[in-house]
Structure 1
């Protein structure tokens, strides 16, 4: 299992958000990995381990909503989080709608 996974759910439709681009970057701005959510709205990113420090997941929500023909207020959502030493896995889900979003540290 990758050190970092995510899951994007489109709260407006109640369905997984497939094809959402996601970029993982270190606090320095260096891009670590990128990809797009699968048909179930899931994506595993990055190496097997991440060094301790701050990272940002940027969800490219504008292109996703454009592809489904929905106007959105958020062209992207950036979630910054801290990796602690010794933690084996991080799951950072995104609950998304055209005009709101929420996230949390999953398991």
Structure 2
């Protein structure tokens, strides 16, 4: 049963295993922000996707500031947990937030040999 609770996080994601046509459940991921002065990534949070392929609480509205962010998805571990191999050990999606009062949905469509993303709504 999927989650119908709307996330309060201004950054959300939804991971779909397109090879099997199911949500990518229990995929580890992490959210990072680029420090513009040091040019290094700072870890904000870590989590796992739920039974619907979502990780609803990535960041609070108060913690969101304009800047460059990335979500790192541990795709290799996910496929390994299913007893399969994958060409991509991880996927990093880097994006820029210019207005912190908006919401940002960053979906990932993944198979063992490909992935795609887009800015969702």
Is 2:55 aligned against 1:43? yes
2:18 aligned partner: 11
Q: Helix, strand or coil: the match of 1:65?
A: helix
Please provide the CA RMSD for this pair.
1.0
* Residues 16-27 of structure 1 mapped to structure 2, 5 A cutoff: 16-27=23-34
1:34 to 34, 46, 49: 46
Displacement, 1:46?
Answer: 1.2
Moved more, 18-27 or 41-50: 41-50
> What CA distance in whole angstroms lies between the structure 2 residues aligned with 1:16 and 1:59?
14
Cα shift readout 1:11-32 (whole Å, capped 9, x = no counterpart): 1000000001110001131101
Deviation >2 Å, runs of 4+: none
| Structure 1: segments with no counterpart, 5+ residues | none
> What CA distance in whole angstroms lies between the structure 2 residues aligned with 1:21 and 1:47?
19
| Structure 2: segments with no counterpart, 5+ residues | 1-7, 36-40
2:81 to 56, 64, 67: 67
In terms of fraction of residues, the more strand-rich structure is 1
Q: Helix, strand or coil: the match of 1:31?
A: strand
Q: Which TM-score applies when normalising by structure 2?
A: 0.85
Q: How many residues align?
A: 107
Bigger radius of gyration, 1 or 2?
Answer: 2
